[in-house]
Amino acid sequence: MSMLGVPSAPTSHTGSVKEPLHLYCLPYAGGSGRVFANWQKLFPPEIKVCCIDYPGHGARRSEPLLDRIDRIADGLAREIASRSHARYVLFGHSMGSLVGFEACHQLARYGAQLPELLAVSGHGGPRVPRSSPPMHAVPDDQFIAHLRELGATPPEILATRELMELLLPLLRADFRACETYEPSWNRKLAVPIAVYGGVDDEDADIAALRGWQSETSGTCVVRMFPGDHFFIADQAEAVPSSLLHDLRETGLRS
């Protein structure tokens, strides 16, 4: 299945729009593109929200899992490069930030059209040292306790042994991908970057978020929202609204 094949929720707008701007949304570790399914109704009709699933996730759960950011990003970059986009944007939260960043560099390597904006959320700059120890290889009880602290996985799922036996390989693969990622690129991206963070996110504080500023030769704006690491859920309308504003600031007419 195509990585770009996960549809967004139906839009409430009517009328045909020529050459829409494609907004590719990349989820956090353990997540599916469906976490962005309601975003379409928050954008004008000329922006097409495309919810991405990584191999082994969501609609692509039958595919083998990948535990390296560069391999996940390369698959995304190859598919984007094969499409005739007039305009597109990448938005990623947490793990999705690293996938989007790496995909931009892969696209540049292929000589493909670059996104008009890279929006990263809930993750410090890719060269900023981690503030917490790696978790992907710790014992199950410690790993599950960490998931409970993060708060993204419903407590009833964490308490169900059968479900966790199915989810743990996926979650560990995603954590391993994030925690072992080291950028191999020394050049700056010729793409503006918008950076979003939660004021209570200890793993991606304002100093870590500012680390993205050294990754682009273009503009880089940092915006903070109330909430912790998963502020995008609490700020379900504010984040898309800010993203739309930043799209317009880059010169896109939307």
Place of tokens 């407590």: 155
CA pair distance 142, 172, nearest whole angstrom: 12
The DSSP-derived string for 91-160 is EEETHHHHHHHHHHHHHHHTTPPPPS-EEEES---TTSPPSS---TTS-HHHHHHHHHHH--S-HHHHT-
Active site residue 84: no
- Report helix, strand or coil for 16: coil
The DSSP code for 229 is T
Secondary structure E strands in 3-102: 21-26, 47-51, 87-93
d(CA 231, CA 236): 8
CA–CA separation, 184 and 212 (whole Å):
15
The three-class DSSP label of residue 47 is strand
Q: Which two tokens stand for residue 28?
A: 């956090």
Q: Which of 8, 94, 97, 242 is catalytic?
A: 94
Catalytic residues: 94
